[in-house]
Structure 1
Amino acid sequence: MNPAHEPKPDPIQITPWKKGMLLIVMLLFGATLFEYYTGGIEERAGWLWPMLFVPLILYLLGIVYGDVPARYYDLKTLKPFPVPFARQFDRCVLSLIVLFTGLLLNLVLLTTGLLMGAGALLTIFYALYMALMLAELPNSLRIFRFIQHVNTMQYVSAIHPETFKKAVAYYSPEQDALSGAERESHLKSLYDDLVEEAKKLVVEASPLSEKQQIALNLAVRSGEAIRRSRVAAAEQSNDRLKANLNLIEALKHHAGLQVPEDIEELQLQLARAVKSA
């Protein structure tokens, strides 16, 4: 719940290289298919060589389509998670269908190759791809479970529109004058209130553990506070802006929230305005 506050490097963004792999495999499929039809592959069950790349294409397509940037499902550090991003759940379901289709097709072709006495090299490739697919599968399922929880929380939010209290419920103008130890105490109390709010959103139907749910609920809460801060700034609603920035500051100090640059700038502007008042 309280990750280390020192700066941590962003997790590797895995989507780009996966897209590159998909493109390379598609090119290899086209080249091998051309080679087979021009008579360049004459070995027994030679038609299995171009088919070698079809399961990989399906599998990689499923991974790319359902992929979530690593920063959204790394629960070791608190990072803002925008609620609208949960709409990717349907994409994740479809991507898992495509992914498992590729895995099943690879198994069928591997079995066919063994029964037809295909070359040893071809059989080794099919077996190797099967091992690689199975090695990647747990990570794909982890992404799906993560999105499934956010989708469940969205459903809860639809039934209870006030899933998150409005930031102004935690705010009073007297807070602006707090400084030093009093300010720290207030931020700690505010953080505790947000944790209690996150605990109330824990649901048994979620595939995540209670600790993971609380961390993710705080990440979604921070995403909402950031979004509402930007709206309040655009509408010049000072109380709403101050209230949401207070939530963000509490999560930053006590949960290691990584704050976007534009929000940090808003915090600096607000601090200057308070000092000059």
Structure 2
Amino acid sequence: MKNFFLFLFRFIITFGYRIKSPHAIPKTTTLDLAAIQNTAKISFFTVAHPDDIELFMGCEARHQIIDNPDDKKVFIVLTGGDANRKNRKKVFRAISWWHAREKAHTAAISFWNNNKDQVVENEVLINQRYVTRISIGSSIVLYNLRLTDADKTTSLDELVEHKSQYIYDVVHQQQYSLEDIKESLINIINLEMANAQEAAFYITDEDSERNPGDHLDHRATSLILLDIYPKISVPKKSLFAYLTYFIKTKPINLQGEDKDKSFETWKIMGDELDTHGYKKNDDPYHMQWVGKEYKSYTIPASQENISQS
């Protein structure tokens, strides 16, 4: 009886804005290679979850968007952030939790761009698999592979540690081996990089001594990127790593507008989650990372042109 009244209460409170038309999966599109912007400089932010960029390297990413509008920025998220709950969809919610997290991530990137460009979402074929590609204007691109995050049967970490052979995405249940993920990333990087002369890569620190207590899929994502890094052919490239969970005891180090925008970004993401009927994630657990950004190490720009192998 208690559960019934709780259900009824939630129904009444949420009825007004929860009922929406089901989210339509975008039509698969063949990428027009001629339409992909050529740029002299390009940055790739590659992370595990839909809020990792905003929490751990958001200041860097935002400044690249506002300070270097003509340079391309590519944001790659490997998992849907479903956290063992890929089918979690509360009653009367139009979309699942992982999808709401992804929309919050898109809203944050668009906010950094002053919401001045149209957000265009398509499904494209990458390495013979459907992948979500979102463009915001001509110089911002988001890729979401939507692999399952920390699943009970497998995860990126188990794949990297060779404890599992395959992982699947949460939408189409497409199968990926570790080599499939690497090949998909190489394809995305080569596709977006085109004729760029300089490429910078941004990841979370994979070292458990420098960055203790981290999410295992953070580490796995960075190890995957580091493994393919020597195979990326560009005249000049560099790599930057950031601390993650470890900074919870470190002081807020962003100042002025950067600090304000960090908190405003998280509020925008929380509001987007709330719009779809999910928790805002404005709890102390998440807020302990907002307003901070700690760079861990840098692999300096190299002038070598490493051929693919």
Same fold (TM > 0.5): no
Structure that is richer in strand per residue:
2
Report the structure number with the largest CA radius of gyration: 1
Structure that is richer in helix per residue:
1
TM-score relative to the length of structure 1 = 0.22
TM-score relative to the length of structure 2 = 0.20
